[in-house]
Amino acid sequence: MKDPNMSATQSKGKKRHDKTSAYYGRRRAGYRCCSGSELTRDESVTLQRLQTFSSDDFEAYRARGEAFRRRLCGAVLHALPVSHAWRADCECRGEWGGVFPVHLRLTHQKNPHVTLDILSPGSESPFWHGLIWVNPDHTGLYVLNTEHFEPQAIGELLARVENMLADGFIPSEIVAVLGRRGGCA
């Protein structure tokens, strides 16, 4: 008997292998799909798709569970021009407040007191944000706010921070410069 929550392709796959595979699409009535289509575990999230996601799309993707949220964070990280100077981590279980669907934390390898968070649009804000921590886990300063996903702008912000560190700036000076001038040169 066909499961009404499975697509035709997934139903065929189930019959062909006589196994039930994990289904990451819609399970509840009224669930909004990202960008008008069902997403499956094997579907890739491209840069072009990320750039068309609305706040509601990010929230819908997050609502599908941890595996989807990790995949979404991975797609964002993959699209960013991040050098090897940064250690990346992503929030998956609300460990940093659980406010944004994509929450990447980039910490500089040589100076762990320099941390930037990249935050996606969601129910709390319709914008992408770059947040540099003034006092870790207590106070942050938004140094990037964009309406659309702009990997190049985020990469330029990271490169600027790297250059300041190479020039001998201490974390508080970096925060002061970015706060005074914003993320742009």
pLDDT tens digit string along 54-72? Answer: 999 999 988 998 888 888 9
pLDDT at 77: 95
**Contact present, 63 and 24 (Cβ < 8 Å):** no
Angle CA(33)–CA(34)–CA(36) in degrees, nearest 5? 70
pLDDT at 6: 45
Rounded-to-10 torsion of CA 153, 51, 47, 179: 20
Looking at per-residue pLDDT, the higher value among 180 and 69 belongs to 69
pLDDT band at 40 (very low <50, low <70, confident <90, very high): low
- Stated as kind and residue range, the H or E segment containing 155 is helix 151-166
Q: Which residues of 158-178 are buried (b: 16+ CB within 10 A; e: fewer)?
A: bebbbebbeeebebeebbeeb
Task: Please state the rounded mean pLDDT for residues 80-85.
Answer: 95
Q: Is the confidence at residue 31, as pLDDT, over 90?
A: no
Query: Tokens representing 156?
Result: 């330029």
CATH of 32-181, one of 3.40.50.11880, 3.40.50.1860, 3.30.2270.10, 3.40.50.300: 3.40.50.11880
pLDDT band at 28 (very low <50, low <70, confident <90, very high): very low
Task: Please state the rounded mean pLDDT for residues 1-24.
Answer: 41
pLDDT band at 140 (very low <50, low <70, confident <90, very high): confident
User: What is the end-to-end Cα distance of the chain in Å, rounded?
Assistant: 61
Domain ranges (residues) in the chain: 32-181
Beta carbons within 10 angstroms of residue 84's beta carbon: 6
* Cβ burial, residue 10 (10 Å; 0-12/13-18/19+): buried
Kindly report the average pLDDT of the chain as a whole number. 78
Q: Is the confidence at residue 33, as pLDDT, over 90?
A: no
Give this prediction's pTM. Answer: 0.74
Task: Please state the rounded mean pLDDT for residues 178-182.
Answer: 75
Q: Is the confidence at residue 185, as pLDDT, over 70?
A: no
Q: Is the confidence at residue 49, as pLDDT, over 50?
A: yes
Query: Tokens representing 161?
Result: 């921070």
Cα separation, 138 vs 170, in Å, equals 19
Query: Tokens representing 121?
Result: 């649009």
Task: Please state the rounded mean pLDDT for residues 14-41.
Answer: 37
